């Protein structure tokens, strides 16, 4: 299958402009003494600096290859465009949830043979991390910086509400009870503080079903949006809109500042707890270093103790785009990133945990996040989960978010979720049809 399907809805002028712009930034620096490998990634600020240190270390330790690292806005989209235009970078970093889309459209190369030759084994990695790198039985990428999530909570606010800050909520019921005790209204009845809000920050709207024992897609490709556990999860979410009041929630959230600022509602105390990732410590240390906070695994229903350990696993990945002019040399760089030295340099710089099983004691001893071991151990739990592996995940998420918006406006959860399944299943059926055809052709 070619990449023409990706350009539906794009004007010819816009496409040409994008490819031309991409071509300009893909021109490598001239190094007549070395093979120049172009590498694109979307990181900025200290995260880009961390990868630059890895690149510098690789460039300094040998004299055959020079990696030309570029921090590129919208790197995922531009990598796809450049690949379609025949001018891809040699190496690229992508968001893990995009891997199925790139693999489906043949925009990236399988790495199984290269990994075997390099002695890179799946057993080298945390299982949940290397699993994100697979699609339809093949390894199409390798890990860079992983993340898990946890309930981040303000110990001071819990203490003021008469709760034990050293015993954060372990069940959904305890979380709801904590919210009711911490929530504060003014004399005018308006919400001044929330204990917890499922829509803050609202980055993981797809994840609630998994904490209730549900899922969004079965192994056979069946879309399961409206299964009973999912309905229960989004009904729980809706109960917050009912308890606070739809208009009250909207008015309350309008006063929130930007995430990356001291006015972040968790940082300034307007929301006492949030579902956030390992990166949250970076913003706490930057804006409110004296905040008395904690992090713990996100609660699950008391009636389902078998779900304890449910946690979102997400990750950035590194790939060889199809048509890479220096794939062999590019993989040499990827191999260095996968070494303990390279990976710890990167993950320490980005203040995340390593996806490798083998981690040095110094990595944890020097890590600035006091909960880094917990975040890493969560990724090893059998109940760890990631987003569904499907090329239509982007469309699925859009449909789901539209349904969630309706549910928060008090529309019937089961009806809204069933509508999502009916719209997404035909898209997934097309994927299954193509993949079966490829398998039948031995492709």
Token digits of residue 100: 């199925």
Question: In the predicted model, what is the mean pLDDT of the chain?
Answer: 93
How far is C-alpha 418 from the geometric centre of its chain's CA atoms?
25
pTM as predicted: 0.92
What is the percent of the chain where pLDDT is above 70? 92
pLDDT in tens, 269-289: 999 999 999 999 999 999 999
Tens of pLDDT, residue by residue over 16-74, are: 445 445 445 555 566 768 999 999 999 999 999 999 999 999 999 999 999 999 999 99
CATH of domain 26-145+315-382: 3.40.190.10
> How far apart, in whole angstroms, are the C-alpha atoms of residue 390 and residue 222?
11
> Residue holding tokens 């710890």?
344
In this prediction, residue 377 carries a pLDDT of 97
Token pair of 266 as six digits: 């968790």
For the stretch 227-258, pLDDT in tens is: 999 999 999 999 999 999 999 999 999 999 99
Confidence of residue 438 (pLDDT cuts 50, 70, 90): confident
pLDDT reported for residue 1: 39
Classify strands 384-385 and 311-319 as parallel, antiparallel or unpaired: parallel
Rounded to the nearest angstrom, the gap between the alpha carbon of residue 171 and the centroid of all alpha carbons in its chain is 24
Q: Identify the CA nearest to 403 among candidates 281, 173, 235, 189.
A: 235
Domain definitions of the chain by residue range: 26-145+315-382, 148-312+392-429
Q: Do domains 26-145+315-382 and 148-312+392-429 have the same CATH topology?
A: yes
Mean pLDDT for 339-348 is: 98
What is the domain class of 148-312+392-429 according to CATH?
A: alpha beta
Pure H helices in 45-134: 45-61, 75-84, 99-104, 112-118, 127-132
Peptide bond into 201 cis (omega under 30): yes
Nearest Cα neighbor of 41 from 345, 245, 316, 295 is 316
Q: What CA–CA distance (Å, rounded) separates 384 from 382? A: 6
| pLDDT bracket for residue 13 (50, 70, 90) | very low
Find tokens 């994927």 and name the residue: 431
Question: Cα-flanking dihedrals φ and ψ of residue 17, to 5°?
Answer: -60, -40
């Amino acid at each position: 299958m070619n990449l023409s399907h990706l350009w539906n809805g794009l004007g010819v002028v816009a496409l040409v402009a994008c490819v031309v712009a991409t071509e300009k930034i893909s021109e490598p620096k001239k190094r007549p003494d070395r093979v120049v490998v172009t590498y694109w990634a979307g990181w900025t600020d200290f995260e880009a600096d961390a990868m630059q240190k890895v690149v510098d270390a690789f460039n300094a330790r040998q004299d055959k290859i020079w990696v030309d690292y570029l921090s590129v806005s919208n790197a995922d989209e531009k990598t796809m465009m450049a690949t379609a235009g025949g001018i891809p970078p040699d190496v690229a970093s992508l968001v893990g949830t995009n891997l199925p889309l790139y693999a489906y459209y043949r925009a990236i190369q399988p790495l199984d043979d290269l990994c075997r030759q390099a002695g890179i084994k799946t057993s080298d990695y945390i299982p949940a991390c290397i699993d994100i790198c697979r699609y339809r039985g093949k390894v199409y990428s390798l890990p860079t910086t992983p993340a898990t999530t946890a309930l981040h909570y303000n110990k001071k606010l819990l203490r003021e509400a008469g709760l034990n800050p050293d015993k954060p909520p372990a069940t959904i019921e305890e979380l709801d009870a904590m919210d009711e005790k911490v929530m504060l209204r003014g004399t005018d009845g308006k919400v001044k503080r929330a204990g917890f809000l499922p829509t803050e920050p609202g980055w993981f709207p797809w994840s609630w079903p998994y904490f209730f024992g549900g899922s969004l897609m079965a192994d056979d490709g069946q879309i399961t949006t409206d299964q009973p556990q999912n309905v229960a999860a989004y009904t729980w979410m809706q109960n917050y809109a009912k308890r606070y009041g739809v208009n009250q929630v909207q008015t309350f959230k309008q006063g929130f500042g930007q995430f990356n600022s001291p006015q972040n509602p968790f940082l300034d105390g307007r929301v006492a707890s949030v579902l956030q990732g390992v990166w949250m410590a970076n913003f706490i240390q930057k804006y409110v270093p004296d905040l008395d906070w904690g992090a713990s695994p996100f609660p699950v229903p008391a009636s389902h103790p078998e779900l304890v350990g449910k946690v979102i696993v997400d990750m950035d990945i590194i790939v060889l785009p199809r048509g890479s002019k220096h794939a062999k040399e590019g993989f040499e760089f990827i191999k260095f990133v996968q070494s303990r030295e390279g990976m710890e340099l990167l993950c320490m710089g980005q203040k995340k945990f390593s996806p490798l099983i083998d981690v040095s004691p110094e990595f944890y001893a020097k890590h600035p996040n006091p909960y880094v071991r917990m975040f890493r151990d969560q990724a090893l739990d059998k109940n760890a989960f990631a987003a569904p592996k499907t090329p239509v995940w982007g469309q699925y998420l859009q449909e789901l978010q539209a349904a969630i918006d309706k549910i928060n406006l008090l529309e019937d959860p089961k009806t809204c979720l069933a509508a999502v399944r009916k719209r997404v299943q035909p898209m997934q059926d097309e994927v299954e049809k193509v993949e079966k055809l490829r398998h039948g052709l031995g492709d």
